[in-house]
Amino acid sequence: MCPPAIETDALRKTYGNTVALQSLDLSIEAGTIYGFLGPNGAGKTTTMRLLTGLSDPTSGTASLSGTPVGDRRSIADIVGYLPESPPLYGEFSGREQLEYVVGLRMLDADRTAERIEELLAQFDLIEDADRRISGYSTGMKQKVAYIQTILHDPPVLLLDEPTAGLDPRAARQLKESIAQLSEAGTTVFLSTHILPVVEELADTIGVLYDGELVAEGSPDAVTERAEADGDATLEDAFLAVTSEPMANR
Ligand SMILES: Nc1ncnc2c1ncn2[C@@H]1O[C@H](COP(=O)(O)OP(=O)(O)OP(=O)(O)O)[C@@H](O)[C@H]1O
Ligand SMILES: [Mg+2]
């Protein structure tokens, strides 16, 4: 049997007196689109950084496709991470940025060149591909950052607010890309504050509140849990499980 694509056991992170993540247990099957929700400061970015091995846990363990996240070399091939503030070089053009990643990751340049052109076209970036990134709009930067995240075909994608700053067309392109990758077997773990994005895409959602997973299940199951009368929306559910005192816990 395949190990879960993402697995954590009592994963915990504190910063001084701040408990950013209490004790997280996740087991996410390969091919799942997992929507990770939670209010500002809930611990979503902290979790993603732990899952990439960029940050060390205070205690507990995490692995991706059976590989402990501490094994940085292997994890770099397994994971594609789109952080909140993506690393891009302003002096590069979009195309140069992507070629730089090809070199950095030692990808097959010929095979990837075609892929880069396809992705630039898919995200309406062809016309701007040779302009400097420093002159790009927020959404254009986000699109290049997403492309560089998926370029090495990682089996696990961690996307922190991937639709931030995207206009509706770009958001649609991104959602289509995520759905395509998922169909091909990629596991996608994404955080967002935009609930329709998870309603549209996610097989499973988890709601983090104050460093604790307070709800997990299909979007429908989480929504139903919030309200007995059957009229609840995911937004109602989100507000119910992330309020104090938490009646639903
Ligand atoms: N490097 C750090 N040093 C100190 N505290 C931190 C650090 N990173 C995160 N925190 C704290 O950990 C908690 C969780 O933060 P985190 O960034 O994970 O939240 P988030 O769910 O991603 O929020 P947002 O929706 O605003 O992006 C917050 O209380 C935050 O202040
Ligand atoms: Mg965050």
Is residue 166 within 8 Å of residue 137, measured between CB atoms?
A: no
CATH for 6-86+155-241 is 3.40.50.300
Nearest CA to ligand 1 atom 19: 41
Question: What's the 47 CA to ligand 2 centre distance in angstroms?
Answer: 9
pLDDT at 249: 47
Question: What's the 181 CA to ligand 2 centre distance in angstroms?
Answer: 23
Q: Indicate if ligand 1 lies below 6 Å from the C-beta of 60.
A: no
Q: Tell me, what DSSP letter sits at residue 2?
A: P
pLDDT at 234: 87
Q: Indicate if ligand 1 lies below 6 Å from the C-beta of 94.
A: no
Q: Where are the domains of the chain?
A: 6-86+155-241
Complete DSSP assignment for 62-116 = EEETTEETT-HHHHHHHEEEE-SS----TTSBHHHHHHHHHHHTT--HHHHHHHH
Question: What's the 132 CA to ligand 1 centre distance in angstroms?
Answer: 31
Q: Indicate if ligand 1 lies below 6 Å from the C-beta of 15.
A: yes
Integer-rounded Cα Rg, in Å, for the chain is 18
Q: How many CB atoms lie within 10 A of CB 118?
A: 11
pLDDT at 75: 94
pLDDT tens digit at each of 249 positions of the chain: 789 999 999 999 999 999 999 999 999 999 999 999 999 999 999 999 999 999 999 999 999 999 999 998 899 999 999 999 888 999 999 999 999 999 988 888 888 999 999 999 999 999 999 999 999 999 999 999 999 999 999 999 999 999 988 999 999 999 999 999 999 999 999 999 999 899 999 999 999 999 999 999 999 888 887 665 567 788 888 888 888 754 444
> How far out from the chain centre does Cα 119 lie?
19
Question: What's the 164 CA to ligand 1 centre distance in angstroms?
Answer: 17
Q: Indicate if ligand 1 lies below 6 Å from the C-beta of 206.
A: no
Q: Indicate if ligand 1 lies below 6 Å from the C-beta of 40.
A: yes
Distance in angstroms (rounded) separating the CA atoms of residues 33 and 30:
9
Q: Indicate if ligand 1 lies below 6 Å from the C-beta of 54.
A: no
Contacts of residue 31, Cβ cutoff 8 Å, sequence gap at least 6: 5, 182, 185, 186, 187
Single pTM value for the model: 0.94
Nearest CA to ligand 1 atom 29: 41
pLDDT at 247: 44
pLDDT at 226: 67
